[in-house]
Structures are given as structure tokens and as C-alpha cells.
Amino acid sequence: MNDTLRPKDHAEAVALFRAQVLGPVLHRDLHHGELFAELRVLTTHRFRPPGSPRTRTYSLRTLLRWVQAYRKHGLPGLRPKGRKVGQALALSDDMRKLLLEIRRQHPAVPANLVLQTLEEDGRIERGLISVQTLRRLYRAHGLRRLPRKRAHVTGERRRWEASHVGELWHADVCHGPTLSVDGRRVPVRIHALMDDKSRYIVMLRVLDHEREVGMLELLLEAIRLYGAPKRLYLDNGPTYRGEALQTACGRLGIHLGHARPHDPQARGKMERFWRTLRDGCLGPMGKQASLHAVWVRLTAFLNERYHKAAHAGLLGRSPASAWATRQLTDLDEDTLTDALTVRETRRVRSDCTLSVGNVDWELREGFLAGRRVTVARTLADRNLPPWVEHDGRRYVLQVVDPVANGRARKRRAPKPGIDAVDFDPVEVLLDKAMGRLPRRSTKGGPR
């Protein structure tokens, strides 16, 4: 055993060092003025703290604080007090959680970029904490920055993200609570489009089905409002596997991509949003009387909370601020109408009518009766009637009006000569059956 007497730790070594610095004044009975005079002399001397390679001086305030601590607690009072390093005490609990979640989602992003992004977005007051404080916070929770190469291969799945806002949209359907409307059960199906880069919900609708037509209408409304993305990322459900959606996206220049079957992790961003929606709105919403009431509450949640809240995946920025930098392709109405036009081959009936969408339509062009023609209709505007395309020309269809078609034709004016003699044996029989008198000729004689 070594008989050399040494301080038990660094804190005791510092306390002994401070006691030596204060040696000329600690055990002397000095009044206030004399004490200050002695301490001012000590401020001009240089001392080498334990473990330090350099000498330094100490201020009058520091020396006076040491004297007061020694007189109150003795040598233990001169031990340095431990600091709560890395806890970022100036931050709220919510902001601290946000910073930690940002590092978990972006392990390769430097701390100074995280802090700069939060300050520019107004989430943290400038100068509230330093970059060193943020780095200590990450180290205290075992979240040291990983090199960029390691950050991509630490898990079984690589993170990916669109290059700019508006390039890639996710589409999905969430099953909400079943409603009771007028004694019948109405399912709630929430259709949503989310931008990949900004996490902004581009469009959201509440329907009672999840058919392909609902997805088409949602996409069309979003394109009219903002423009078209470059890519659309979907799951493998029947809602997103139809030929109509594939055809429309191909005509609009939108690449249609699908996640692998039975791989919910590939849809992680959308699934994370659904969880936020359930926790923040669907769960506490309670019973509602209509689909519109559900949609109103979901829209309020999006506009007033989700889009304005800091998002860890955006380095603390809000989806609304990120969405403001979007880059989308503008499409005119003619392009949308042409892209969403569906065509089928039908045979025109002998009476120049045909059925489209369980509705009978008629053509004025009688020469098309009995012919096979191409019938077209656009999903971009359901108020537009269908039309017939034949030999490079376009013929508009009209809804059959059976009442108008069944009206009696007006009797033609009598003709002179032989044309004035009507020969209609059937009409004679009708007159006899209904008890009508024989009609008179134009000259007043019997017919």
C-alpha cells in the first residue's frame, strides 16, 4: 500500500488549492475594508489550478465567494459544485423532447444545423442555448452524431426522402369509427395525400367507401389547387391498383409507385401521421352525426395544430413552413379533362340511343343507328355529358326525354288534289271503336 497522502478526488484537490490561494486572509481577523484590500492584491497573482497546464488569475468576486464559503462550511465549502451538464435547463420539456427526437431521426445531421433550423423557424429564441449545450444534451442521452455512411446502414432499412417539396406524394386510407346516421351504420374512410418532404397534408376527405373513384377525385382536387407532383407512392390495396388511376397518372406524367406487400415499414411516414391523427383528433372526438362533421374536425386539427407544430423529421420546422417552398407542375383544365377521359366501344341502338352510366342517351345523327362507335366521358367533370367519337368527329349525347318523344305529332295542313285523300284503314277502325264521327273533308263533303 502506498503511504503517500493524496486528495481523494479532484474536487478535494481543488478545495485544497483554493484554501492555499486564500491562505493569507482565511485565519486573520480582518474588517471589511482590510479584507477587500488583501483580496485585491491576490487578484494580481497567477496560480496554477490542479490538472491545468496554465496559470491564471481570479477576480475579486470569485475570491470573496470562496472566503464566504470557507467561513460557512470549512474546507468542504471550497469543493466545486457539480453542474448539470448537457441538460439544457433553459429549454422546456417539450423542446428538449423535440431536440432528442430530431437527433434520433437524423443521426448524421450536425448540432449546429439543428439549432440554426429551429432558430430560423422561430421555434427557439436566438441565443437561448449554444451549440455546445446542445451537443452536451445529445451526449448525455447517448445520441452522439454518427458519420453519414454509418447513419445509412445502422438499421435494416435505409431512410429516404424526396429531393424537394412537391416531388413525391403519399396516398392512403385510414379506417375511422363507424357512425350511426338515421338508424343505419355508416363507415368512415379517411382519404389523404401527404407530401413526402414537408409532411404536409395536401388533401384530406372523409367518405363512406375506399373505391378508386374516391382516390381519383382527391388527386384531381389537389392538382387543381396546387399542381401535380412528379411521383405518387401508394400501398397495394385495390383502391390504388385500378387501371383508371394508372392511366390517369401516366397521361399526366406522374410516376406511380407501390410499396412492397406486407411491408408497413415502407409506409412509415404515412403510418406515423395516422397515429398522430388518432391520438390528437379521432380518439377524443366522440360521436358525430355525419361524415361532414368528422371532416370539419379533422380539418381544424390539421390547420390549427398539425401543420403548425414542430416536426422532428423536419429538424423542428413545421409542415406549413416547409410546404411554402413547394415546386409543382401546373396543369390546365384541358389537360386534366383529356387525361381523365375514359372511352369504350358501344353499338348505337336502332332508335339512335345508347346507355352510359345506367342512363339512356340519344344522338341526333340518325346515320349512326346500328353502328359501333367510341363513347367517351371525362372523370374530371361529372357534369359534362358523354360524347361519341366517330371518324374523327365528335357528337354530343343528350339524355333521352321519353315524354317529349311520346307527344303526338302536329297534324299537317291538308293538301290539294289527290294528296288530300287520306287512306288509313286503321284510323277508320279507331274512329269506330271510340265512337267518333267521320271527319269532314276540307270542302265540307263526306270523306
Based on the domain organization, do 264 and 291 belong to the same domain?
Answer: yes
pLDDT at residue 197, as a whole number: 92
C-alpha 95: how far from chain center: 22
> Rounded CA gap, 218 and 301, in Å?
19
124-152 confidence digits (pLDDT tens): 888 888 888 888 888 888 888 877 655 54
pLDDT at residue 372, as a whole number: 93
> Rounded CA gap, 389 and 53, in Å?
92
- Give mean pLDDT, residues 201-230: 92
Based on the domain organization, do 55 and 198 belong to the same domain?
Answer: no
70-96 confidence digits (pLDDT tens): 888 888 889 887 655 545 677 888 888
Helix, strand, or coil (residue 281): helix
Based on the domain organization, do 181 and 301 belong to the same domain?
Answer: yes
Based on the domain organization, do 24 and 58 belong to the same domain?
Answer: yes
- Give mean pLDDT, residues 277-290: 88
- Give mean pLDDT, residues 274-294: 89
The number of beta carbons lying within 10 Å of the beta carbon of residue 45 is: 10
Res 310 pLDDT > 80: yes
By the 10 Å C-beta count (0-12 exposed, 13-18 middle, 19+ buried), 446 is classed as exposed
Q: Is residue 88 part of a domain?
A: no
Q: Is residue 334 part of a domain?
A: no
241-255 confidence digits (pLDDT tens): 778 888 888 999 999
Q: Is residue 2 part of a domain?
A: no
Task: Label the pairing between strands 184-186 and 341-347.
Answer: unpaired
Least confidently predicted of 92-101, 305-314, 437-446? 437-446
Based on the domain organization, do 399 and 427 belong to the same domain?
Answer: no
pLDDT at residue 442, as a whole number: 45
Q: Is residue 420 part of a domain?
A: yes
Based on the domain organization, do 318 and 174 belong to the same domain?
Answer: yes
Based on the domain organization, do 395 and 422 belong to the same domain?
Answer: no
Q: Is residue 156 part of a domain?
A: no
- Give mean pLDDT, residues 167-186: 90
pLDDT at residue 148, as a whole number: 62
pLDDT at residue 267, as a whole number: 79
Could you tell me the residue range of the domain that residue 106 belongs to?
93-149
Total domain count for the chain? 5
Q: Is residue 14 part of a domain?
A: yes
β-sheet bridge partners, residue 415 = none
Q: Is residue 3 part of a domain?
A: no
Based on the domain organization, do 230 and 115 belong to the same domain?
Answer: no
Res 97 pLDDT > 80: yes
* Residue with grid cell 413552413, as numbered in its chain: 321
pLDDT at residue 236, as a whole number: 77
> Rounded CA gap, 126 and 421, in Å?
105
Based on the domain organization, do 103 and 240 belong to the same domain?
Answer: no
Question: Of 52, 78, 104, which one is at a domain's C-terminal end?
Answer: 78
Query: Is the model more confident about 58 or about 267?
Result: 58
Least confidently predicted of 211-225, 261-275, 299-313? 261-275
Res 194 pLDDT > 80: yes
Based on the domain organization, do 302 and 370 belong to the same domain?
Answer: no
Question: Of 23, 47, 78, which one is at a domain's C-terminal end?
Answer: 78
How far is residue 417 from each of residues 253, 420, 441, 444, measured CA to CA in Å?
71, 6, 12, 15
> Rounded CA gap, 190 and 207, in Å?
6
| Strand arrangement, sheet containing 231-234 | 201-207, 189-195, 168-175, 231-234, 255-258
In which band, very low, low, confident or very high, does the pLDDT at 156 lie, cut at 50, 70 and 90?
A: very low
Based on the domain organization, do 307 and 174 belong to the same domain?
Answer: yes
> Reduced to 3 DSSP states, what percent helix, strand and coil does the chain have, rounded to the nearest 5?
40, 15, 40
- Give mean pLDDT, residues 280-284: 88
Based on the domain organization, do 307 and 373 belong to the same domain?
Answer: no
pLDDT at residue 443, as a whole number: 45
Q: Is residue 335 part of a domain?
A: no
327-359 confidence digits (pLDDT tens): 999 999 999 988 888 888 989 999 899 888 788
